[in-house]
Amino acid sequence: MSSKPPKLDLPWPRPERWSPALLPLVAGLAAFCTYSCMYAFRKPFSAGSYDGMAWLGVDYKVWLVVAQVFGYALSKLWGIRLVPEMQTTHRARSIVLLIGLSWLALLGFALVPPVLGIACLFLNGIPLGMVWGLVFGYIEGRRATELMGAILASSFIFASGIVKGVGKAMLLAGVSQYWMPFLTGLVFVLPLLLSLHVLARIPPPSADDIAARAPRGRMDRAARKAFVKRFLPGLLFVVPLYVLLTVLRDFRENFDTEIFRDLGFGHSALVFSEVDTPIGIGVLALTAMLSLVRDNMRALMLNHLLIGGGLVCSGLATLAFFHGALPPLVWMTLVGFGLYLAYIPLNGMMFERLMATFHVVGTASFVMYIADASGYLGSVAVLLIKQFLHLQLNWTEFFERAVLTCSLLGSVLITLSARWFWRHGRQTTANPLLPNLRMESHRL
């Protein structure tokens, strides 16, 4: 028995009444807006600098970042089990509940003493880690998933700059850096509810979608174990690469305020969007084009190629900047473009094609959460290493060296991953007696 639709009536046609050609755009934009609004409850605190503040000899902002990221990582660990098993009808209310809890934590951050504010950021991170999988669940398993996923994943780029720009503008207007995160969230409450209302009405995958991409559904414990057993060699290349990219992407988002200040742009509220907007447009265009590739194995290999190209772009741009051949904003733009060109395919598109290539019945959210949990734990570890080993590097120097390391190691890992999945695909095709991975599932 289907659940009743939300009572709120919008002044435009319901998404299920849109033409098949427009539905991917409607769904992608609704997912983009929903996840972008989530950023308003996660990232605005990082627009503050909290200069001169420390606790137990550690910079106060480092405490805030570590606390939130650790909570986020725990959420990803729980999400490995909870997100793949969640019923479709529970997704929208779960998203509202999770974001609402994180907003209450930001209210606590504004009201309690700064030391207790660290605990509030930890509590803020715990609910938010499961939102991505719930949103992606609405759009996976479709012929246009890459297009919708690219639109959704571009929220990583656009939303971060917009949210921190709003937070920075509030700070420049005199708002306290403790109240600023809560008030930034308030600005995005209504857009969140409207975009989620549209997303919740998106119809399920069609028969043609299922034929092209394999059915999607819940994955029980046995199904998850079977998936890991079959693809473990490939995951041993992909997951460490995802850890490297997550560490860099998270570091860039949390400390770009300090990096821009080191580069001489500390008093600009627009610098975030000036850098991130061209990045978002370029990455969106390249990743969305993968939806034009119908052959699943070919698309899986093209995902590997995009990731490798992004890693090379970031590394070469950083070498050029190090030798004085690039101005600061051009360097930040090219590095961001390369990092996101590598990171975004790993946030859904590559795993979506993996499921389709090998006819896996389940949800791409499961493997995404394995990678995500590992990535954010790695992010916490790197921040602690930098802080407690007393590395004599400022934020910009540390970022330069981290980018070069990631570019080198990541290029090796993505090459090995492409080789393994290509060979595994050929073995599966050559031996028709080799069973496809069929998992117990329930229709979405």
pLDDT, tens digit, 9 for 90 and up, residues 179-211: 999 999 999 999 999 999 998 888 887 787 777
- Buried b / exposed e along 369-402 (16+ C-beta atoms within 10 A): bbbbbbbbbbbbebbeebeeeeeeeebbebbbeb
Q: pLDDT at position 411, please?
A: 94
Closest C-alpha among 434, 438, 298 to residue 357: 298
Q: Is 56 part of a structural domain of the chain? A: yes
- In this structure, what CATH number is given to the domain that contains residue 396? 1.20.1250.20
- Buried b / exposed e along 414-426 (16+ C-beta atoms within 10 A): bebbbebbeebbe
| pLDDT range class, residue 88, cuts 50, 70, 90 | low
**Contact yes or no for 254/65 (Cβ under 8 A):** yes
Closest C-alpha among 416, 403, 274 to residue 338: 403
- Report the range out of 140-149, 364-373, 402-411 with the highest average pLDDT: 402-411
What is the arithmetic mean of pLDDT over 67-86? 79
Q: Is 439 part of a structural domain of the chain? A: no
**Contact yes or no for 214/227 (Cβ under 8 A):** no
Provide the angle, in degrees to the nearest 10, between the axes of the packed helices 60-85 and 114-128. 20
Three-state SS at 408: helix
| pLDDT range class, residue 429, cuts 50, 70, 90 | low
**Contact yes or no for 64/121 (Cβ under 8 A):** yes
Q: pLDDT at position 186, please?
A: 93
| Strands (E) located in 10-109 | 54-55, 58-59
Which residues are CB-contacts of 71 (< 8 A; sequence separation ≥ 6)?
121, 122, 123, 124, 125, 126, 129
**Contact yes or no for 424/297 (Cβ under 8 A):** no
Sole residue written with tokens 């690039």: 326
Domain count, the chain: 1
Structure tokens at 39: 């950023």
Structure tokens at 180: 């600023």
Q: Is 10 part of a structural domain of the chain? A: no
- Measure the CA–CA gap between 260 and 311, rounded to whole angstroms: 22
Q: pLDDT at position 389, please?
A: 65
Q: pLDDT at position 346, please?
A: 81
Q: Is 181 part of a structural domain of the chain? A: yes
Sole residue written with tokens 């656009």: 158
- The angle formed by the CA atoms of residues 274, 289 and 353, to the nearest 5 degrees, is 115
Q: Is 394 part of a structural domain of the chain? A: yes
Which residues are CB-contacts of 198 (< 8 A; sequence separation ≥ 6)?
10, 15, 26, 30
Closest C-alpha among 107, 140, 118 to residue 347: 140
**Contact yes or no for 144/24 (Cβ under 8 A):** yes
Task: Determine what percent of the chain is predicted with pLDDT higher than 70.
Answer: 84
321 φ, ψ (degrees, to nearest 5): -65, -40
- Neighbour tally for 427: CB within 10 Å: 10
- Neighbour tally for 264: CB within 10 Å: 10
- Measure the CA–CA gap between 289 and 42, rounded to whole angstroms: 30
7 burial class (0-12, 13-18, 19+ CB within 10 angstroms)? exposed
- Measure the CA–CA gap between 16 and 20, rounded to whole angstroms: 9
Q: pLDDT at position 108, please?
A: 95
Q: Which domain holds residue 213?
A: 18-430
Q: Is 153 part of a structural domain of the chain? A: yes
Lowest mean pLDDT: which of 3-17, 278-292, 309-323?
Answer: 3-17
Q: Is 46 part of a structural domain of the chain? A: yes
Three-state SS at 372: helix
Does position 368 have pLDDT exceeding 90, yes or no? no
pTM: 0.71
Q: Is 363 part of a structural domain of the chain? A: yes
